Structure 1
Amino acid sequence: MRKIIYTLCVIGMLSCSSKKSNIIFEEHFSSTKLNTTNWNYDIGDGCPQICGWGNNELQFYKQQNVRVSNGNLVITAQKDSIYTSGKIHTKDKITFTYGTIEVRAKLPKGKGLWPAIWLLGNNINQVGWPACGEIDMMEYVGKEPGVLFTSMHTPSSHGNTINTKKTAIKNLEEDFHVYKCIWTENEIAFYIDDQHLYTYNPAVKNDKTWPYNKPFYLILNLAIGGNFGGPEVDNTIFPTEFVIDYIKVYKN
Structure 2
Amino acid sequence: MGQGSTQAASAAVCTPATPAEVRAMIRDGYTGYTGGKAPGYVQANICILPKDYAEEFLLFCQRNPAPCPLLERADQGSYRLPRLGKEIDIRTDLPRYHVFRDGVFCEEVTDIRDLWSNELVTFALGCSFSFEEALREAGLPMRFMDRGGVAGVYQTDIETQPAGRFHAKLVVTMRPFAPADAIRAIQVTSRFPNVHGAPVHIGDPAAIGVDLSRRYRDVGSDEILPYELPLFWACGLTPQLAVANAKPPLCITHAPSSMLVTDIRNASLASF
Structure 1 length as normaliser, TM-score?
0.30
Bigger proportion of residues as helix: 2
Higher strand share: 1
Relative to the length of structure 2, the TM-score reads 0.28
